[in-house]
Amino acid sequence: MRHDHITSAKQLSRGDIETVLDRAREIAADPSSYADRHAGALLGLLFFEPSTRTKMSFSAAIKRLGGDVVDMGPVEASSVKKGESLADTVRVVEGYADALVLRHPSEGSAQMASEFVDVPLINGGDGAGQHPTQTLLDLYTIREAAGLDDLTIGIMGDLKYGRTVHSLAYALTNFETSQYFISPESLRLPQNVRYDLDEEGATVEEHTELDPVLSDLDVLYITRIQKERFPDESEYRKVAGQYQIDTTTLDAASDDLTVMHPLPRVDEIDHDVDETSHAQYFQQAHNGVPVRMALLDLLLGGNQ
Ligand code: NCD
């Protein structure tokens, strides 16, 4: 891979994606052969927003490559509380680590921060912007379950604030996919994302209901309404609880439908779906470790 920083899924070509996913598959097949690959490497974790999966799977990934983490810890206990700027924080922490993962509430923060550092900086989610490593594990999961070409995917829920959606939508333009976006009017895909997809010649439809398209789908990717991003809680309440699925909803789906969710779920997927063969969301979360191992391996010089 020729990228130093991974800030947006827009920068990932089909070749880049396949390189990461192929490496992840090799790692998943024989993790122990990678155990000392990056002995002594340190990954700096800068999480300015809550995280379970992204932070823990990055930690697991670097440790399974023989490295370790240096973690800024909670924002409240860091010098950010003393008024330190993000640019200064990353300039300091790059001296402590071989690569950085940044999660931050401001859209564009990862791109900005990357301009201040020489070590690879990975965007672990920038506000409602992008979450490119989630996309890599989403693509890995889709490829293993359904293949990435000739695919019809429904992406449903909070398409406006859902950064995993924005990254996935861009990355899928590298493949022969039809993307059906299903959301309330108020949470449609941002116009700039839709514009970019059209520029890429992507096959895109927007819908407000799942039912008319469900039987066409190979993959249904469901997202949480991103409550924390609503400027006004009453706007959240208007859409909360919409777009839930249960096993009855899935009666109309193909037997091979793969149901995905970046997690955490709130009430979008009834727990009865967990027991069906459609449910891939826990496997999807687990795939975060080999995929992040593959990405770190490539960024830390695993090509040699
Ligand atoms: C997502 C995120 O942080 O954007 N979580 C994750 O990384 N798996 C999705 C979400 O919070 O809804």
> Residues 215, 163: one domain?
yes
- CATH code, domain with 20: 3.40.50.1370
Q: Which of 54, 89, 177, 223 is catalytic?
A: 54
List the domain range (segments joined by +) for residue 70.
Answer: 9-127+287-299
Q: Of the candidates 182, 198, 176, which has an alpha carbon nearest to the alpha carbon of residue 249?
A: 182
> Residues 136, 278: one domain?
yes
pTM equals 0.96
Q: What is the DSSP letter of 190?
A: P
Residue 103 annotated in active site: yes
Residue 163 annotated in active site: no
Give me the pLDDT at residue 1, please: 59
Q: Using alpha carbons only, what angle is made at residue 149 by residues 143 and 154, rounded to the nearest 5 degrees?
A: 80
> Residues 91, 169: one domain?
no
> Residues 191, 265: one domain?
yes
224 lines ligand 1 (CB under 6 A): yes
53 lines ligand 1 (CB under 6 A): yes
Give me the pLDDT at residue 61, please: 98
pLDDT (tens digit, 0 to 9) for every residue of the chain, 304 residues total?
557 899 999 999 999 999 999 999 999 999 999 999 999 999 999 999 999 999 999 999 999 999 999 999 999 888 888 889 999 999 999 999 999 999 999 999 999 999 999 999 999 999 999 999 999 999 999 999 999 999 999 999 999 999 999 999 999 999 999 999 999 999 999 999 999 999 999 999 999 999 999 999 999 999 999 999 999 999 899 998 889 999 999 999 999 999 999 999 999 999 999 999 999 999 999 999 999 999 999 999 965 4
Ligand 1 closest atom vs CA 54:
7
Ligand 1 closest atom vs CA 223:
12
Give me the pLDDT at residue 2, please: 59
101 lines ligand 1 (CB under 6 A): no
| Residue 122 amino acid letter | I
Hey, is 235 helix, strand or coil? helix
Structural domain contains residue 4: no
Structural domain contains residue 2: no
Give the H/E segment covering residue 224.
none
Structural domain contains residue 76: yes
Residue 53 annotated in active site: yes
Q: Is the C-alpha dihedral spanning 13, 14, 16, 21 positive or negative?
A: positive
Q: Which of 64, 103, 261, 292 is catalytic?
A: 103
Cis peptide leading into residue 264 (ω within 30°): yes
Ligand 1 closest atom vs CA 103:
3
The two structure tokens encoding residue 92: 């300091």
Q: Rounded to the nearest whole angstrom, what is the distance from the C-alpha of residue 33 to the centroid of ligand 1?
A: 30
